[in-house]
Structure 1
C-alpha cells in the first residue's frame, strides 16, 4: 500500500557565506547546505542553481535505485567551484523502503517507538548510499551537519515523544535562527503506512528483521552495518478480500452452448473491468502529472524566496506573491478533499502566513511636539514640511507659520496674514504658500510675505520647489507647471504630453519629479521625460487618499496611505523598504520626513507628532 507522509521544515536564514534549503515534492526529500567565502554569484543564486540541477537529474532517471540516485547527486556537484563546500542529503521512499544518498556531511536519524538513532551519516568529500525499511509511525529527521551540532539526538527524542512534528519544529526553530551560520536546515517526516483487512481482521505477512535503531540515542552506525541490517520487508504475496456474487439466472441452455455463453459473459465482464481500470489509471497518471507541474515550480519558487529573504526582502516578497497567485489559480483544478488539493492548500497556507508576517510593518510610537489648541494665537495647524533642513508648520486659515528646531522645540511664529492657504512648501530661505490669489514667498527672517505669482489655476493640488524654481501639480490639466525664479514665468515641465491613467494627486521633487496617481501608481520624471519605475515587494497595494514625499538628500520615497493607516518607504530603485503603521494616520492632514535626523512628522487633529525612522 502507498504510505502517507506528514512533514515540517526548518531552515536558517541565509548569510553572506552560508546558505541552506529544504525541498520536498511527491516522495523526494532534499536538504542542502552551501558554504563559501567568495564566488562569482551570490550564495543564494548558487544554491538555487544546485537545487534546480539536482531536480533535473533526479526526475530524469528512468529507474530510481541507490546507484542511479547516487549518480544524479554526483552529476549535480561535480561542476561546483573548488571553494564551494556543498552538502546534499537526499532521501526518497519507494514501496516502504527509505533510500538515502549523502554527499558530504549530513545525517539521517530515525525514531521508532521509544528508540532513536543515526541510520545514515555522511563523510566530507564522499558520496555514500544507504537503504532500509520503514514502519508505520516512524519519524525521520534529515538534517545538515550544522543542524546536528545545534540540536542533539536526545533533544529530538524528547520533543518527538511529547509533540507532533509541526510543534516540534516550531520549538526547535528559535535555536536554529539564533547565531545562525545560514547552513542549518532539516526536514522532519512522520511516515504512515496503509493497511489491508479481511472481514475486519488485519491480514499481513510480517518478516522478522534486526532492529537498527539503537536503545542508546546518538549511537552512530557505519554504512556497512546498515546495509546488512536494513532489509526490504515487502510482503511476499498479496491477500485480497473474498467477494461472493449471486449466480445469474439464465434460460436453460444445454450442453456446449451454455458453457460458451458463460465464458462470453465472463470475458465481457473482464473486458469492461479492464477498460474501467485502464481509464482510471490514465486519469490518475494525468492528474499526478498535472499536480507535479504545479507543485514543483511553486515549492521551488517558495524555497527560493525564503532563501533570499534577508538578502533582498523586496524580491522575496515579489516571489512569494507570485507563488500565492500560482496556488490560488491551481487549487480549483483538483477536487475538494483530494490529496492534491490538500497539499496545494497546505503550501498556500504556509505562503499566506509568511506574506502576512512580512506585511506587519512597524507600529510606530509617536510623541506630541505641539498642540495648537493650547496656543491662543495659532489654534489650528494643517501642513508640515522639512525641506530646506528646517521643520515648518502652517495654519491654513490665517497663514501662521511655525518654525521648529530639529529637536522639535518651537523657535518662532510668523503671522503672514494670508488667508485660505491651500498648500505649502519650503527651502533654506523661504516658505512658499499657495492661496486663492496666488503664491506667496515668506522670508524666514522677515514677517511680511511677498506675492511672487498671481492667478494660479484652480486645479493646483500640490506645490514644491527646487533651486528656487516653483512647481505646481495641476490635476485638472494633468500637468506640472514650472515657474523659473528669474521672473516666475509659467511653462510646462513636461517635454511631451503625458498620459495619466489615473488622476495625479501628489508630487515631490529631489531633482527628479515623483508623482503618485489616485490608483497608487508612482511615476518618475527627469528633465521633463518619464523614466521607467515600478514598486517591487509591496504586499498590500496602496489604497486611496495618497500623498508622496522625498528630497534630494533622501534615499527613499515615502507615501502616506491614509486608507491603510501607514507610511510606506520605497527605495528609489523601486524596492519596498518598510511600513510605519499608526491608526491615527487615517486622519492625517499632512506629513514630512527628515531622513538625516531619522524622524518622521505628522499633522493630525491639530497636533504635530513625531516618530522615529528605522
Structure 2
C-alpha cells in the first residue's frame, strides 16, 4: 500500500509582476515563483504554462530517478524567457527516498524528531539536485526563494516548534499574506510510513455451559386429624407420573433452549468473523483500486495514456474481485459504485468531439422528402429515403439532388446499395433502383411477413433480417433461402450489415458474426458503456472496422473486426441523430436528423 502524505499549501496573492504557486499531484510536489520587470504579458498565464510543462516532462519519464528528474526540470527551465527570474523546487518521493531538484534559489527544510534544518538550498541560475531517506513522521517545508527570504531558517524553527502539518501552515500563512510581494509559496508535507497489515481472525471462545435442573422441594404440610375418605391408589400413581413427566419436560426444554442459544451464538460469531474477513479483503481491493482511480483522474489533463492505464488497472482489479462478494451485498455495491465512476472516466477519455462538421443536405431543397428516415452511401452517391417511400439520390459532397423518385410502396424502412443498384426495404417489399437509368423494380414480395429490422446486399444478393433469422434472396430470380445454419437462435436482432460476413446487432448490444451461415466467435473488448437498444450497425467489405450508431446515447462507436474498441464520437451537439453511414476510405461519417444530413471528418 502507498505511504500516507499529509500536506497543506501556502501561496501568496500574485501581483502584476510576480506570481507563485504550490502544486501537488500523485507523488509530485512543486513550488514555483516567477518575476518579470514588465507586465505586458500576464505573469499568471505564463506561470501556468511553465507549471504544465514541468508536469508533462515529469510524467513522461519512464524511470523517475534523480538524474532523470533533474533532466526534466532542466528542459523546463530552458524554455523560460530571459527576462523572467524563477525559483522552482521540485520534490518527489519514491518508496522512502526523497528526490529534490532546485532551479534558481529555493529551499527545503526538514523537521525530524523536534529538530529542523535545511536539507536542500538552491542557487541563482543553477539547477541542483539532492536526495536522502525519509523517516516516519518527517515534516518537509518546500519553499520558493521569496518564502525562504521572508521566513529565514532561524525564525522558521521557532514558528514550527512542537507543531504538526496543519498547525504549521496556520502559523505561517498570516506572515506570508501580510505584505506579500507575490513570489512566496510553500508546501508543508508530513511523511507517514504505512505499515502492512495481516489478516487476523479473532478466535472463537466457546462459553462453557453447565447443565442444571431445577430442584423440586416438597413443603411439609401438617394435616389435622380428621377422617379421610378412601384414596384411589391408581389415581395417586397417575398424579405422580404426571409430576415426573412435567419435571423431565422442564429439563429437556432447558437443554434444548441452551443448545439453541449455543448454536445461535456460534453462527453469530461465524457471521461476525466472515464480515471481518470481507471487510479486510474489500479494503485490500478497494483501497489500491481507489488509489489507481485517483491517480488516473489526476493525470487526465496531463497525460491521457497514463490516465487510461491507471483507470484500466483499477477496473481490472475490481472486476477480478467482485465475484467473491455476494451480489447485492454492501461490499458488492461499493465495488460496483467505483466501477461506475471508472467507466464514466474511461468513456470520457475515449470520446472524440466532432470536427469539420458540414451541412450536406436539407429537406428544404427537396419537393418530395419532408422527413428523413435513413441515409446510405454504399455505391457512391448519397441516397436518402423518407417513410413514404420517396427516394433522393444526391451528391455526398454538396448534397445537390440528382434524382427524386417516388416508389410504388409504403412505409419504407431501410436503404442500402452497391455500384449498380439501390435497394429499399418497405413493410411488404424490397425495391431495386437502377443507378444508371433510375428505374424502380419490385424484386421481393414480403407480404404476410413482419418484424423486419435490417437489410443489406452483397454480390447482388439481398439479405433481410427478421426477428428470428436472416433470409437470403439470390440474384437474379431472388429465390428465398435461409442464410443461417446449425439452428441458430437470434435474440431480438435490430440491425444487420455485410462485408462478406454477416454482422448482426441485437437489442442487448451484443454483436454476432456469421460467415457462410455459421457463427464465429466474436466479443467486444474495451467498451466501457453498453450499446443502447436502439442502434444501427454499419460496415463494408473494404472496411477495417465496424461502426455502431448508438441512438440512445447519441454516439457513434468504432470497433475493429477483432472486437477491440477503438473510438467513439459524441453527437449530442448535432441534434437527435436517427441514421448514419461511413466513408472509411475518405475518413468521413455522414449522419442525419429528420430534416438534415451532416458530414464530419475522422
* Range into which the TM-score falls when normalised by the shorter chain: 0.5 to 0.7
Q: Work out whether residues 382 and 606 of structure 1, in 8 Å CA contact, stay in contact via their aligned partners in 2.
A: no
| Residue number in structure 2 paired with 1:613 | 601
| Residue number in structure 2 paired with 1:238 | none
- Asked if 1:563 corresponds to 2:555, the answer is no
Equivalent of residue 413 in structure 1, options 403, 415, 420: 403
Classify the secondary structure of the residue corresponding to 1:373. Answer: helix
Q: Work out whether residues 509 and 531 of structure 2, in 8 Å CA contact, stay in contact via their aligned partners in 1.
A: yes
Q: Give the C-alpha shift of residue 16 in structure 1.
A: 14
Classify the secondary structure of the residue corresponding to 2:488. Answer: coil
Q: Give the C-alpha shift of residue 290 in structure 1.
A: 6.4
| Residue number in structure 2 paired with 1:295 | 287
CA distance 1:193–1:515, shift in 2 (3 Å) = same
Post-superposition CA distance 1:367-424 (Å, at most 9, x none): 32222134324444322111123322223314323221x4233150142433222221
Post-superposition CA distance 1:243-288 (Å, at most 9, x none): xxxxxxxxxxxxxxxxxxxxxxxxxxxxxxxxxxxxxxxx999977
Post-superposition CA distance 1:217-267 (Å, at most 9, x none): 9xxxxxxxxxxxxxxxxxxxxxxxxxxxxxxxxxxxxxxxxxxxxxxxxxx
CA distance 1:358–1:129, shift in 2 (3 Å) = same
Equivalent of residue 463 in structure 2, options 463, 471, 483: 471
| Residue number in structure 2 paired with 1:395 | 386
Equivalent of residue 543 in structure 1, options 529, 532, 538: 532
Q: Which runs of structure 2 are paired with 1:509-528 in the superposition (5 Å)?
A: 509-528=498-517
Larger RCO (alpha carbons 8 Å, 6+ apart): 1
Post-superposition CA distance 1:71-114 (Å, at most 9, x none): xxxxxxxxxxxxxxxxx96333xxxxxxx388xx999x844599
Equivalent of residue 424 in structure 1, options 415, 418, 422: 415
| Residue number in structure 2 paired with 1:499 | 489
- Taking the aligned partners of 1:488 and 1:312, their CA distance within structure 2 comes to 54
Equivalent of residue 577 in structure 1, options 547, 556, 566: 566
Q: Give the C-alpha shift of residue 436 in structure 1.
A: 3.9
Q: Give the C-alpha shift of residue 605 in structure 1.
A: 2.3
Equivalent of residue 9 in structure 1, options 26, 35, 60: 26
Equivalent of residue 19 in structure 1, options 36, 58, 62: 62
CA distance 1:346–1:530, shift in 2 (3 Å) = closer
Q: Work out whether residues 557 and 571 of structure 1, in 8 Å CA contact, stay in contact via their aligned partners in 2.
A: yes
Q: Give the C-alpha shift of residue 481 in structure 1.
A: 1.0
- Taking the aligned partners of 1:525 and 1:91, their CA distance within structure 2 comes to 53
Instruction: Pick the structure with greater CA Rg.
Output: 2
| Residue number in structure 1 paired with 2:479 | 489
Q: Pairwise CA RMSD of aligned residues? A: 5.3
| Residue number in structure 1 paired with 2:454 | 462
TM-score (structure 1 length as normaliser):
0.52
| Residue number in structure 1 paired with 2:587 | 598
Q: Work out whether residues 368 and 608 of structure 1, in 8 Å CA contact, stay in contact via their aligned partners in 2.
A: yes
CA distance 1:310–1:590, shift in 2 (3 Å) = same
- Taking the aligned partners of 2:340 and 2:505, their CA distance within structure 1 comes to 33
Classify the secondary structure of the residue corresponding to 1:520. Answer: coil
- Taking the aligned partners of 1:387 and 1:312, their CA distance within structure 2 comes to 39
TM-score (structure 2 length as normaliser):
0.53
Gapped runs of 5+ residues in structure 1? 22-29, 35-87, 93-99, 121-127, 142-152, 162-190, 196-216, 218-282, 335-340
CA distance 1:494–1:486, shift in 2 (3 Å) = same
Q: How many residues align?
A: 399
Post-superposition CA distance 1:565-594 (Å, at most 9, x none): 222222222222222223377733321111
- Taking the aligned partners of 1:589 and 1:315, their CA distance within structure 2 comes to 34
| Residue number in structure 1 paired with 2:432 | 441
Q: Give the C-alpha shift of residue 494 in structure 1.
A: 1.4
Classify the secondary structure of the residue corresponding to 1:552. Answer: coil
- Asked if 1:91 corresponds to 2:91, the answer is no
| Residue number in structure 1 paired with 2:74 | none
Classify the secondary structure of the residue corresponding to 2:364. Answer: helix
CA distance 1:288–1:157, shift in 2 (3 Å) = farther
- Taking the aligned partners of 1:536 and 1:15, their CA distance within structure 2 comes to 31
- Taking the aligned partners of 1:91 and 1:468, their CA distance within structure 2 comes to 66
CA distance 1:156–1:326, shift in 2 (3 Å) = farther
Classify the secondary structure of the residue corresponding to 1:19. Answer: coil
Q: Work out whether residues 381 and 607 of structure 1, in 8 Å CA contact, stay in contact via their aligned partners in 2.
A: yes
| Residue number in structure 2 paired with 1:321 | 315
Q: Give the C-alpha shift of residue 428 in structure 1.
A: 0.8
- Taking the aligned partners of 1:455 and 1:583, their CA distance within structure 2 comes to 36
Post-superposition CA distance 1:543-574 (Å, at most 9, x none): 23111111122222211112212222222222
- Taking the aligned partners of 1:323 and 1:384, their CA distance within structure 2 comes to 43
| Residue number in structure 2 paired with 1:251 | none
CA distance 1:33–1:541, shift in 2 (3 Å) = farther
- Taking the aligned partners of 2:329 and 2:500, their CA distance within structure 1 comes to 49
Q: Work out whether residues 536 and 550 of structure 2, in 8 Å CA contact, stay in contact via their aligned partners in 1.
A: yes
CA distance 1:5–1:492, shift in 2 (3 Å) = same
